Structure 1
């Protein structure tokens, strides 16, 4: 399914409702074909159709860290500093593109919401260190994480693999 510049604005309004909280369309955003959402604490989300509307570029922009509580203990200060170091800094962006063309002809707003929830929104609290890094996955207990494949590697006996190597012609 394709998405147009006008449909992006409508999808952004629906996303703001789906995300809940104080997400709203940014009234001060430039009219550049992208939709911009802001949160009351300064976080931002951007959505832009690319490649003729078959794909969308999504990005988030970090906000200022909350202030350290007055009278915090040294342990609370250390926790605060670790939390600030792990989060996406103010003004920094993290992005991901996603295709809207699916076999199921899924609604673009659903695809965008799923991509935001799975790949971008967690990056506000746990900034990725490199492309494809998703540190929030590392924090899940092993029972919650999904296996990379459903196939098990075959076990080979040392005798069999040695015998197979001996019968192969030399190159």
Structure 2
């Protein structure tokens, strides 16, 4: 299915609803043909149709890491620093493209949401080091292997 420029805002509204939390359309975003969503914590998701609406370009923009609690112990500060080191830094973007032409003729909002959930939203917490790098998949595979090994041992 193709997405037209007119359907971008409608799709963005559906995505904001699906993402839940505090996601809304960014009222201060430029009128550049793209949809811009923003979360109350500063994370941002944007997308625009390209190639006549057959493909959608998606990108996320990192936000500032939350501040550590006042009076944090050295261990808490070290944990905060380690977490901040793997986050997508403020102002940095991570991009991806997805085709909207599928055999099942899926709605664009479903395709975009799947790409966000599988490939872009995890990049806020585990920034990729290079194109195609998906560190959250490695984490999942390692946890799955550990659980499988634990089950086999019992």
TM-score (norm 1): 0.82
Query: Which SS does the other structure have where 2:120 is aligned?
Result: helix
Query: Which SS does the other structure have where 1:140 is aligned?
Result: helix
Matches within 5 A, 1:108-127: 108-127=108-127
Name the Cα RMSD after superposition: 1.2
Paired position in structure 1 for 2:17: 17
Q: Deviations over 1:31-66 (max 9, x none)?
A: 110000000011100010000000000000001110
Query: Which SS does the other structure have where 1:12 is aligned?
Result: helix
| CA distance in structure 2 between the partners assigned to 1:125 and 1:68 by the alignment | 16
Paired position in structure 2 for 1:93: 93
Q: Which has the higher helix share?
A: 2
| CA distance in structure 1 between the partners assigned to 2:24 and 2:143 by the alignment | 36
Q: Deviations over 1:118-156 (max 9, x none)?
A: 0000000000000000000111144748xxxxxxxxxxx
Paired position in structure 2 for 1:47: 47
Correspondence 1:66 to 2:66: yes
Aligned residues: 145
Correspondence 1:128 to 2:92: no
TM-score (norm 2): 0.91
Between 1 and 2, higher relative CO (CA 8 Å, sep ≥ 6) is seen in: 2
Query: Which SS does the other structure have where 1:97 is aligned?
Result: strand
| CA distance in structure 2 between the partners assigned to 1:139 and 1:16 by the alignment | 27
| CA distance in structure 2 between the partners assigned to 1:142 and 1:70 by the alignment | 34
**Which runs of no fewer than 5 residues in structure 2 stay unpaired?**
146-154
Matches within 5 A, 1:97-108: 97-108=97-108
